[in-house]
Amino acid sequence: MSTILHEPAIFTEDPFDPAVIADPYPFLARLREAGSVSYLEATGSYAVAGYEEVYEVLTDFETYSSAGGLGPRDIRKDEAWRPPSILESDPPIHTVMRRALTGVINPGTVRALRGPFTPPAVELTTALAKLQGFDAITDLAEKYPLRVFPDAVGIPEEGREHLLPYGNMVFNAFGPENYIFKQAFAQGDAHAAAVMKSCQRESMDEVGFGAQIWAKVAEGLISEQQATLLVRALLSAGVDTTIFGIGNTLSVLARYPEAWAQLRKNPSMAKFAVDEALRLESPFQKFHRTVAVDTVLGGVKLEAGTKVLVFLGAANRDPRKWGEDADSFSLDRSSSGHVAFGMGLHQCVGQPIARMEMEIVLQQLLERVQTIEPAGAPVPIIHNVLRGFESLPVSITAAR
Ligand code: OVM
């Protein structure tokens, strides 16, 4: 433990500047190398980008509270744009909602979805494998989760077109109210109203995750309000993230032809490839926590009430954790311990669903595509906290 206190490195660069967003890793490396904790003048928050400090913040939920929200402002002081979610709560409120959710979504309940989740991936990849190339984002990554996930929750067809733009609002609100945020919120009321309608008990089919969450009300575990918010959490967090996860995995694998060849020989390694790709190109790059009590982190004093911007994507490339080749993809690396799904109390509940979606798409593509390579520059999405691409042209040769 370092007991000598020091001042944080001061950064004037804005992590939410579109130029930094388009090419984040040089900035993130400077942030990591500047020391354990930095201070960002642009946002008035502290920043952690090293694996050790990110891990400490994520696992010490008493010091680094979620109840202030994941954005730069404290939602308890300023008006929040929607009622707080499980993700914006601390124990004991968090504990009750988390228990209800893990009762519904866990490796056991998710295993049953492999059957229904497979045919849409077969259909999409079969059609794409007939082409000489396609756009891995618009032709595949954006299509697949929308084909399987809303059905798994059990919501009506009507209103599904609002899911992707709603997710875009929710996640962009974890950053400042810049032009990116304002664009995401331009039609916000319509998206929010449609998604809230899909969360109601009357909207659910009888078997999906939504109905199972509502059943927890009958069991006396949660209130109706909490059931609505838990279904909302699935619909908020379950679409954009998996689209970016699939897109980012393909963006990485298109650059590593030897890895693709190795995976074709051994498709059971697909799940490891997905984890290593999530480490390298983490869809959820950053969010804030609120300092609950005066504390010291990495030798820097943090005052209660201030925000800390937690750079998951930078921790996942920290050479002190992953070695000097942290910026490269390697199937020989053990990527377990990455924080792409977070860590600790709030670690992604939906991750068995997300992992299965990503693995199925990759396995089905591996079966039908012999080689895949970039066919033009990927176009990064300008998004406050998610890392991904709006376009990723690839050329392929079909397996025969
Ligand atoms: C929620 C929620 C929304 C966005 C993301 C998330 C990554 C959760 O409404 O609970 O977790």
Q: Measured from the CA of 87, which atom of ligand 1 is nearest? A: 10
Q: What dihedral do alpha carbons 63, 278, 238, 232 form, nearest 10°?
A: 10
Which residue do the tokens 């490396």 mark? Answer: 29
Mutate to test the pocket of ligand 1, among 236, 284, 341, 343 (most ligand atoms within 8 A of CB): 236
Direct distance between the N- and C-terminal alpha carbons of the chain, in angstroms, rounded to an integer: 58
Measured CA to CA, the distance from residue 225 to residue 91 in angstroms comes to 18
Give 233 Cα–ligand 1 centroid separation in angstroms. 5
Judge contact between 399 and 367, C-beta under 8 A: yes
237 lines ligand 1 (CB under 6 A): yes
* pLDDT given for residue 1 in this prediction: 53
pLDDT in tens, the chain (400 residues): 556 899 999 999 999 999 999 999 999 999 999 999 999 999 999 999 999 999 999 999 999 999 999 999 999 998 888 889 999 999 999 999 999 999 999 999 999 999 999 999 999 999 999 999 999 999 999 999 999 999 999 999 999 999 999 999 999 999 999 999 999 999 999 999 999 999 999 999 999 999 999 999 999 999 999 999 999 999 999 999 999 999 999 999 999 999 999 999 999 999 999 999 999 999 999 999 999 999 999 999 999 999 999 999 999 999 999 999 999 999 999 999 999 999 999 999 999 999 999 999 999 999 999 999 999 999 999 999 999 999 999 999 999 8
Q: Measured from the CA of 230, which atom of ligand 1 is nearest? A: 10
Give 238 Cα–ligand 1 centroid separation in angstroms. 8
Q: Which two tokens stand for residue 269?
A: 């390694």
The amino acid at 352:
P
Q: Measured from the CA of 342, which atom of ligand 1 is nearest? A: 7
Q: Measured from the CA of 232, which atom of ligand 1 is nearest? A: 9
Q: Which domains does the chain have, with CATH numbers?
A: 10-390 (1.10.630.10)
232 lines ligand 1 (CB under 6 A): yes
Give 232 Cα–ligand 1 centroid separation in angstroms. 8
170 lines ligand 1 (CB under 6 A): yes
Whether the model pTM is above 0.85: yes
For residue 338, list its beta bridge partners: none
Burial profile 34-61: b = 16 or more Cβ within 10 angstroms, e = fewer: bbbbbbbeebebbbbbbbebbbbbbebb
